[in-house]
Amino acid sequence: MATATASRLAVPAQRPSTTATGRRRAAALSPAPVGRPRALSAASRGRVVCPAAPASASASTSDAGQDRLQKVPISNIRNFSIIAHIDHGKSTLADKLLELTGTVQKRDMKEQFLDNMDLERERGITIKLQAARMRYVMNNEPYCLNLIDTPGHVDFSYEVSRSLAACEGALLVVDASQGVEAQTLANVYLALENDLEIIPVLNKIDLPGAEPDRVAQEIEEIIGMDCSNAIRCSAKEGIGITEILDAIVTKIPPPQDTAKSPLRALIFDSYYDPYRGVIVYFRVVDGRIKKGDKICFMASGKEFIADEIGVLSPKQMQVNELYAGEVGYLSASIRSVADARVGDTISHYSKRAERALPGYSEATPMVFCGLFPIDADQFEELREALEKLQLNDAALKFEPESSSAMGFGFRCGFLGLLHMEIVQERLEREYNLNLIITAPSVVYHVNLVDGETVECSNPSLLPEPGKRRSIEEPYVKIEMLTPKEYIGPIMELGQERRGEFKEMNFITENRASVVYELPLAEMVGDFFDQLKSRSKGYASMEYSLIGYRESNLVKLDIQINGDPVEALSTIVHRDKAYSVGRALTQKLKELIPRQMFRVPIQACIGAKVIASEALSAIRKDVLSKCYGGDISRKKKLLKKQAEGKKRMKAIGRVDVPQEAFMAVLKLEKEVL
Amino acid sequence: MLRSAFPLVSHLPPRKPPPIRPARPPPVRPYASSAARPSPPPASAYVHLPFCRKRCLYCDFPIVALGSSSSSSPVDGEGNDPRIADYVRLLLREVAATRPVSNDGVPLETVFFGGGTPSLVPPSLVAAVLDALRGKFGLSASPEVSIEMDPGTFDAAKLRELVGLGVNRVSLGVQAFQDDLLRACGRAHGLREVHDAVGIVTACEGLQNWSMDLISSLPHQTEEMWEESLRCTVDARPTHVSVYDLQIEQGTKFGQLYTPGVHPLPSETDSANLYKIASKWLSEAGYNHYEISSYCKTGYECKHNVTYWQNRSFYAFGLGSASYINGVRFSRPRRMKEYADWVQKLEIGAWSHEPDSAGMKDMAMDVVMLSLRTAWGLDLRSFSKSFGKSLTISLCNTFRPFVESGLVIVMDMERRALQPSDFKVDLQYEGEIGSKVAFIRLSDPDGFLLSNELISLAFGVIAP
């Protein structure tokens, strides 16, 4: 689902104009019932007996849409993904494949392509086509090629792994003028873990700076893969596309013919459609699924009737039945994507498979933060908005939280930072909510003196120092690929973020891979931005969780006039507590208006003050004269002053403007 | 022709010896009776005489600058400007067109000629206005009739004439005792005129009650200059001193030139210090600091201004002036043409005070804002009676920390200061408000100095 999550969250409003394969667009253009071709049902009905029977050769029908629906023997099915770094040309290549196979008309392609670029770049994730069924004829033999797209961000690596698990092969697309990037590498490893056949493709060979030989060598060195036959192409110029299609047919193995086994279909994506409920994307691994079947989801335990099944080509096109090896979608009046999670196995209710497909896992939020409406009246709206988002995002968790400084809001859990940003942005942009967002926190494991271990993702709820024996924090292994001139700055960054240097390898003469192990908490914040700015944008990174480690962590509290401000509490490493404390108190001093009394602003660890500032008292605020008894102006001024106070939050006796909280929370994100 | 034709009222009986308790307000109706509707009819009238020789650089008032055409004698000169007579004629039309609030003839206890520079107006015209007011509303047996006068705009004869008409209180706009500062303010007079004017006022028979008006926190004003001004003021022995803290208003020359707290204006701390010095020096010289910017010898409060602080109603006449009648505050147009049009509407009955629309919240704000400016403070019982006990208790709770920090003072029925602990006990007591605590006021000088902060806190309680 989160393959979809990525794109869906990123480009909510623009969805209708997303890729040709954009589902909503498809739905809008051809509403399901109308779009059902009569010829199709006849054709497919005729083939029920022999799903793997050879198709009636290259049907010379002018309706390209129909011949794509024709069944081919399972030995002629190829399921594949494209692995590529952002900007390395995945979308362009996908578009070219669709175009050359006649899946999408050239005229339509352009428009889709152009629509997408800005958004993709803005968020650094690929707006994908989810899946597309193509018909390709090679040596007079028709093949059914299913392209299954993957999201391009490490926050969604679970979803990537499920998409890859639905394939037998992958195209590894690398920009011949650039080289392999960290994220690509991570996905290649995922593909290798899933036993995928990988076809290296060197893209953009038309560019003057292209060095296909160097890049081929780089891939060989880094991945250890033979690149002597790497396909050289320019998706943009249409060079090498046929070779790629031929390679897909010849190199990627067909799915196993297990059509006679009980149904097992792997969900690799799902999304919520307000009119039809959840649309589930799946790959039939074993058995067959027919329209009207009573199905069950083995992990969620939910049962449904498959009201509609079909394929994506790239629009949704209804079919009656799908067999092992095929890729399609179904709609079954499912109310929330949480009931049809990515990685879950679809089986028949009455003839349930013995075991679910491997690899399913629950979404585990890694990053938490508090979301509070600036206007307390928006609390209910915020709840509704989160509930709506959750319909389409099973990984989003939230529960109510209240804070003396912020009022009522929600503690929310996210897969990662990108996921968090996307949700925040949607809440603000689409739901018009003005939010205060607390500094993100990871999930700590707190070992208590009584031997118990509790999880804590909210600094203000950290058990008292006397009750805890130690705190463990999640660690990640992070691999950064960088041109050699930025190795220094990047190692500095690793060092600053409490990183433990693991290894460095020159993957080519000019590029190195730098591996650190560091606390996830240090990545939450501006790590990625820093990496980019310190390498002038050239470095890339990838990380994976490697477990929990004990750290010397302390809870840093902020007190204003002696009153603690829970929302500003953070968990930091002891060595950083002083500088963080200083930065926060200084910022607060700048932003809190002076009061009628001196206000100490302190950062404390327990009872110990580690940084302290003070606001001096206002000395004078008086309007001296009521000329001629005209008090209206004076009253207006005082009313305005009173209004100003109302917009502030009272911390004890001190009025703190909301902007001060926001600025400090922003600062926390930067300094933590 | 306008001519003074009414009997003189200057020979008022000599003042009674001052009352023993200085902190008592003058014997007037408590504001609370006006907070509870219907408010009693006005017994005060403000008359705006907007003419000045030129606009002072800090002034954003509705004035008419006559221009510095004449270096002639202060007595005639500008006095003959036809614009003044024209304006007074308009003013008299407004008085004539105004219906007294009460039919049973509540006479005016106070009349205040403000400006502008009212001393530029020929006494005969002042007489005509007084005449009209008397005819329309009646004057009490011993009204307070104040007039603002600027140094250099009058001589002894003119003052005598005014006093002869019934004027018995002069507010002398001295502002500073330093030529440099007067010049920097764009005042139309220098230090010599100041000394002359003080001489004329103190020498005038029949005029016991006069006020020296000063401005603190002027650009380039030093602590020494301020102390010099205060010394000169005390030496002149006025019965009343008004000390205004300079406000930098948008649209004035000062507004373009200066930023509060930034040189050449004194810093906030220095400015607060000037206020404190005034409070200390004038108190030591025997003046009561009875309102944020007003000091007086015992018994010499400006009765007219006290009307404002006690939230009682008052008439107002003239350009840009603000009246408070039947619970409605109304400010007249600030431009002459619009004012003239408005007077005409009033005359033909095309304008009337809108029915009382001020809500209770606004009324409560007015009471708090005005009474907390004074040393008498806010009458808690009366406030509770008018606006409810729970609001009163919320207000007290809001102020409690400031009672403890000394910015707010609680007082008993006799206006004796109480300990903060008494306040706490009293608030916890479930019975009637003010079993012991009867008044709260802002302390002098610290509470007064932060009056905006404290009053706006109260506003937040009244209109949450």
Give residue-wise pLDDT tens across range A147-161: 998 776 666 778 888
Interface test with A, best of B452, B454, B457, B461 (most A CBs within 10 A): B452
Supply the pTM of this predicted model. Answer: 0.66
Whether B385 is in a domain gets the answer yes
| Pair B40, B312: CB distance under 8 Å | yes
Pairing of strands A345-348, A407-414: unpaired
Structure token pair of residue A233: 């192409």
In terms of domains, do B436 and B293 share one? no
B364 and B277 assigned to the same domain: no
Specify the range with the lowest mean pLDDT, choosing from A6-15, A157-166, B253-262. A6-15
Nearest CA in chain A to B321: A628
Nearest one of A508, A505, A531, A533 to A518, comparing CA atoms: A531
Binding-site residues of A for GTP: 84-91, 149-153, 203-206
Contact assessment for residue A620 and residue B450, using Cβ atoms and an 8 Å cutoff? yes
Provide the pLDDT for residue B319. 95
Q: How many CB atoms lie within 10 A of CB B267?
A: 15
Question: How far apart are alpha carbons A592 and A589 in whole angstroms?
Answer: 6
Measured between alpha carbons, how far is A271 from A336 in angstroms, rounded to an integer? 9
Q: What is the pLDDT of residues A551-561, one digit of tens each?
A: 999 999 999 99
Question: Which residue range(s) make up the domain with B373?
Answer: 360-462
Same domain, B141 and B260: yes
pLDDT for res B38: 54
High-pLDDT (> 90) share of chain A, %:
42
Bridge-partner residues for A322, per DSSP? Answer: A289
What are the pLDDT digits (tens) for A599-637?
Answer: 999 999 988 999 999 999 998 888 777 566 778 888 888
Range among A50-59, A118-127, B91-100 with highest mean pLDDT value: B91-100
**In chain B, which residues have their Cβ closer than 8 Å to the Cβ of A621?**
449-453
Contact map slice: A 624-663 vs B, CB within 8 A: 624-632, 634-635, 637-639, 641-642, 644-646, 653
B253 and B387 in a single domain? The answer is no
Chain B interface includes A623 (CB < 8 A): yes
Average pLDDT, chain A: 82
Helix pair angle (A157-165, A2-10), 10° resolution = 130
Better pLDDT: B43 or A7: B43
Which residues make beta-bridge pairs with A50? Answer: none
In angstroms, rounded to a whole number, what is the distance separating the alpha carbons of residues A319 and A327? Answer: 11
Contact B365 A639 (CB under 8 A): yes
Q: Which helix or strand (DSSP H or E) is residue A158 part of?
A: helix A157-165
- Same domain, residue pair B365 and B303: no
If DSSP codes are grouped into helix, strand and coil, which group holds residue B402? helix
User: Are B277 and B166 in the same domain?
Assistant: yes
What would you report as the CA-atom Rg of chain B, rounded to the nearest whole angstrom?
22
Beta strands B328-331 and B315-317 are unpaired
The least confident of A300-309, A524-533, B197-206, B260-269 is A524-533
Residue B170 maps to which CATH number? 3.80.30.20
Q: Which amino acid, one-letter code, is at B462?
A: I
Residues B379 and B305 occupy one common structural domain: no
Percent of chain B at pLDDT > 90 equals 71
Whole-complex ipTM: 0.84
Q: Which three-class secondary structure state does DSSP give residue B314?
A: strand
The pLDDT value recorded for residue A510 is 83
Total domains, chain B: 2
The pLDDT of residue B172 is: 97
Among A635-644, B224-233, B430-439, the minimum mean pLDDT is found in: B430-439
Size of interface A-B (CB pairs under 8 A): 111
Q: Average pLDDT, stretch B288-302?
A: 96
B301 and B377 both lie in a single domain:
no
Cβ neighbours for B186, distance < 8 A, ≥ 6 positions apart: B54, B55, B56, B57, B58, B253
B30 lies in some domain: no
pLDDT band at B2 (very low <50, low <70, confident <90, very high): very low
A303: phi then psi, degrees, rounded to nearest 5: -120, 145
> Do residues B411 and B438 touch, judged by C-beta distance below 8 A?
yes
The predicted pLDDT at position A43 comes to 33
Distances, alpha carbon A565 to alpha carbons A438, A586, A603, A644, A649, in Å: 12, 15, 10, 21, 11
Q: Are residues B390 and B246 in the same domain?
A: no
Question: Residue range B120-127: average pLDDT?
Answer: 95
Put simply, the chain B residues between 163 and 192 with a CB less than 8 A from any chain A CB are: none
- Would residue B144 count as lying in a domain? yes
Degrees (nearest 5) of the Cα angle A298, A300, A301?
60
Is A477's pLDDT higher than 90? yes
Q: In Å, what is the CA distance from B71 to each residue of B78, B188, B199? A: 9, 11, 21
Q: How confident is the model at residue B314 (pLDDT cuts 50, 70, 90)?
A: very high
Is B33 a member of any domain? no
pLDDT band at B383 (very low <50, low <70, confident <90, very high): very high
d(CA A216, CA A210): 11
Residues B280 and B394 in one domain: no
pLDDT of the residue at A42 = 33
B334 located within any domain: no
Residues B28, B309: Cα–Cα separation, whole Å: 11
Average confidence (pLDDT) over A593-602: 92
Note whether residue B24 is domain-resident.
no
B70/B50 Cα distance (integer angstroms): 18
Q: A337: pLDDT confidence band, cut at 50, 70 and 90?
A: confident
- pLDDT, position A33: 34
Of B48, B308, B460, the CB nearest to A626: B308
Cβ neighbours of residue A514 under 8 Å, at least 6 residues apart?
A479, A480, A481, A482, A487, A490, A491, A494, A501, A503, A504
Dist. CA A498–CA A491, nearest whole Å: 11
CATH code for position B437: 1.10.10
Q: Give the residue from B268, B283, B309 where a domain finishes.
A: B309
For residue B148, give the nearest of B77, B210, B218 by alpha carbon: B210
Least confident of A344-353, B95-104, B134-143, B403-412: B95-104
Name which of A623, A628, A638 is nearest B247 (Cβ-Cβ): A623
Same domain, B84 and B153: yes
In three-state form (DSSP H/G/I as H, E/B as E, the rest C), the secondary structure along A483-513 is: EHHHHHHHHHHHHHCCCEEEEEEECCCCEEE
Which tokens belong to A646?
A: 């109302």
Whether B370 shows a pLDDT value over 80: the answer reads yes
Using a CB-CB cut-off of 8 Å, the residues of chain A touching B243 are 624
Q: How far is residue A215's CA from residue B90's CA, in Å, rounded to a whole number?
A: 94
**Same domain for B164 and B267:** yes
Answer whether residue B304 is part of any domain.
Answer: yes
Distance (Å, rounded) from C-alpha A592 to C-alpha A615? 8
Of B293, B305, B459, the CB nearest to A642: B459
- φ, ψ for residue B71, nearest 5 deg: -110, 20
Neighbours of B277 (CB within 10 A): 17
Residues of B in contact with A623 (CB under 8 A): 247, 451-452
CB–CB contact A645 B456 (8 Å) = yes
The pLDDT assigned to A153 comes to 65
Residue B396 has pLDDT above 80, yes or no: yes
Q: Does residue B331 fall inside a structural domain?
A: no
